[in-house]
Amino acid sequence: MIYVAVSCALIVSIILPVFPKHFLLILLVVCRSLCDIGVAQFDRVGVLAIASGGIAVAAIIGAILCLLSDASFTRVALVWSMLCFVGVWSVVAFQIYGIRSGLLEETVRLVSIVGIFVIAHSVARRRASDYGMAIWMIAPAAIYAISGLVLGFPNMTIDSGRLTASFSHPNAAAAFFGVGCVVSVLLILAGMSSWRIVFLIANACALLLTGSLGGIVAASVGVMVVIALIPNRSPGFRGVWCLAVPLCLAVSFPVFGLSDRLTEFGGQSSTLAPDSFEWRLQNWRLLIGIWREQPFFGYGWGSTSIFIQPLGGPPHSAFVQVLVEAGVVGVVLACCAVVYIVIRSIRSARRGSMFGTLTCGLVAFALVNGFESNLLGYTAAGYLLAALFGISVGAADARSSVVRINPSSSDGKGDDGHVGIFVRFQ
């Protein structure tokens, strides 16, 4: 495995310098979204496991090349902040458990997600943030999911009939397709077209077929946040579209057979089925009890995925996971980062920026979905979110640069550069 990783690193380091960055970004996200075929059924092809490692290496090397070619202050500051956040608590885990292969893999995985953010940020500053890239990142997985069900591909569902497609778990698939729903609604509101509607329908159907209640609710909240903050729309328009979201859910639940999932999720039994909310509550109580033994810095990244599983499963809550793995210090830093992103994005959205609107929708999705899922462990969804956040932040930085160059347009209106940023998106 080490020889394979080294070989991938050498090949990637030779190819990437001449590889278009926007194509690299799309390729990394797409390939990672197709690398977990068969994982949920314990029938994964070995080549895909090796490919996922190669993708992580490519993301890290690509990010380094982006920093070397354009080391802007904003990008370097963001990268160092994120890497310190990853590095400090990786060291904590190594100190407690020793240097284990699982912990090293988790560190590389998290660093590769940061790498995707860096590449996306670089692409956004150079290409005026073409959100059409988001379609190409998400569409292949959605096409595989829908066509695989229709054509009867193997390893498409688990025993209960919930869709996994190319992901490791139905909830992982739901996280990915939920983001796709948020993006597709934003694209439709920016400019209606038939292919954007088809894109929304494909993602929505795939999401509902996963049977993930957390993913469905999170996507609905993210969509409503996007609708509420979309610029240049009347309050009546926003109200009607927001009302349409729960109405669509009410119709979809019986059609897709999700009523049974509600019963299963709310069920209480002595066996504590992992799909029930009671199981989650019990797991959280036990994890919080363990956290109290290491309250300030926790047990480090990857500890709840490998070592700390009181009921034999992961935390099923990103909030509890961060608390146990990063402690109070990590939680405070994470909360400060989220609050800063939300405030900045809302201000940007109120100034008419689609980028701020999308960021708010994605943050809302991540917070709601992360409440009861292992969102931090879903690598494909992590790559997609990192790419979209990177595009949004990079586009905002590019717009700020335009405003500084053209002070007469500092109000953000009537500026040629401002129009240029949105021309591909609209």
Q: What is the pLDDT of residues 217-265, one digit of tens each?
A: 999 999 999 999 988 888 888 999 999 999 999 888 888 888 777 776 6
Whether the pLDDT of residue 420 is over 60: the answer is: no
The proportion of the chain whose per-residue pLDDT surpasses 70, expressed as a percent, equals 83
Whether the pLDDT of residue 421 is over 70: the answer is: no
Exposure string of 163-185, with b = 16+ CB inside 10 Å and e = fewer, is: bbbbbbbbbbbbbbbbbbbbbbb
Whether the pLDDT of residue 410 is over 60: the answer is: no
Q: What token pair was written down for 12? A: 């990637």
CA distance to 133, 136, 251, per residue, from 184 (Å) = 12, 12, 20
Q: Which residues pair with 157 in a beta bridge?
A: 163
- The pLDDT assigned to 426 comes to 34
Question: Would you mind telling me the total number of residues written for the chain in this entry?
Answer: 426
- The pLDDT assigned to 234 comes to 86
158-191 per-position pLDDT tens digit: 988 899 999 999 999 999 999 999 999 999 998 8
109-155 per-position pLDDT tens digit: 999 999 999 999 888 866 555 567 889 999 999 999 999 999 999 99
Report yes or no: 289 and 324 within 8 Å, Cβ to Cβ. Answer: no
Whether the pLDDT of residue 209 is over 90: the answer is: yes
95-105 per-position pLDDT tens digit: 999 999 999 99
CA distance to 48, 153, 163, per residue, from 166 (Å) = 11, 11, 9
- pTM for the complete prediction? 0.89
CA dist., res. 345 & res. 274, Å (int): 36
Report yes or no: 399 and 418 within 8 Å, Cβ to Cβ. Answer: yes
Handedness of CA 93, 104, 115, 40 (dihedral sign): negative
Mean per-residue pLDDT over the chain, rounded: 85
Domain ranges of the chain: 128-422
Q: What is the mean pLDDT of residues 84-92?
A: 92
